[in-house]
């Protein structure tokens, strides 16, 4: 863990998904690559959930998981790093919500609320997505959405009752 810096770190919740090729292997490689980022360590990961596609439904089902990391990288720096990892793992440009070998989204960044052209935190649609909330509830049920003030467990419970 050379280079690990604990000062000025943030806990960040990520959502990872894959629906092409060896989906579990892509998720494993993505987690490994995220954990290898500078000044970043993997704190927790959920089990893998198989889920129906969202948005564009005529495509293979996804494997999804959530991860919690601690990082000294800034939000845009981490976003750029995970997008570069996606490309390195074989992701190619395609339609929004279309099939992909790997997708890594920043969901929650402690109590940060921000909106730029490149990044919105918390993730703007995570509250309505079971494939994000159910895995995230396994590892960070008490994480708070700084926009609504509700915990991940509370948000996930609204989906359970649907």
- The string over 95-131, giving b where at least 16 C-beta atoms fall within 10 Å of a residue's C-beta and e elsewhere, is eeeebbbbbbbbbbbeeeeeeeeeeebbbeebbebbb
Residue with tokens 């099939």: 99
What domain count does the chain have?
1
Confidence of residue 160 (pLDDT cuts 50, 70, 90): low
In a domain, 103, yes or no: yes
Write out the residue range of the structural domain in which residue 38 sits: 10-124
CATH number reported for the structural domain that contains residue 77 in this entry: 3.30.70.560
**84, part of any domain:** yes
How high is the pLDDT of residue 98?
A: 65
Q: In this predicted structure, what is the pLDDT of residue 7? A: 56
Residue 87 lies in a domain: yes
Q: Is residue 42 part of a domain?
A: yes
pLDDT for the residue numbered 161: 52
Residue 2, class by beta-carbon neighbours within 10 Å (0-12 exposed, 13-18 middle, 19+ buried)?
exposed
CA dihedral 16, 17, 20, 21 (to 10 degrees): 50
pLDDT at 89 > cutoff 60: yes
User: Is 152 domain-assigned?
Assistant: no
- pLDDT tens, residue by residue, 7-18: 578 999 999 999
What separation in angstroms does the CA of 96 have from each of 31, 57, 78, 135? Answer: 22, 12, 21, 22
The answer to whether 45 touches 13, Cβ cutoff 8 Å, is no
- Which active-site residues does the annotation give? 91, 100, 103, 105
- Domain annotation covers residue 144: no
- Whether 151 is in a domain gets the answer no
pLDDT at position 57, please?
A: 77
Report pLDDT for 6. Answer: 53
- Kindly state whether residue 65 falls inside one of the protein's structural domains: yes
More confident of the two residues 56 and 158: 158
């Amino acid at each position: 863990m050379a280079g690990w810096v604990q000062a000025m770190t943030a806990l960040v919740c990520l959502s990872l998904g894959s629906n092409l090729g060896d989906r579990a292997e892509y998720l494993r490689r993505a987690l490994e690559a995220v954990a290898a980022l500078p000044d970043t360590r993997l704190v927790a990961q959920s089990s893998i959930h198989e889920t129906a596609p969202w948005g564009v439904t005529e495509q293979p089902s996804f494997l999804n998981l959530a991860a919690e990391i601690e990082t000294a990288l800034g939000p845009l720096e981490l976003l750029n790093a995970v997008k570069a990892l996606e490309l390195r793992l074989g992701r190619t440009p395609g339609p929004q919500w279309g099939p992909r070998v790997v997708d890594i989204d920043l969901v929650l960044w402690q109590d940060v609320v921000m909106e730029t052209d490149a990044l919105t935190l918390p993730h703007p649609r995570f509250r309505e997505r079971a494939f994000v909330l159910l895995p995230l509830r396994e590892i960070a049920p008490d994480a708070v959405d700084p926009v609504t003030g509700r915990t991940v467990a509370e948000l996930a419970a609204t989906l359970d009752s649907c």
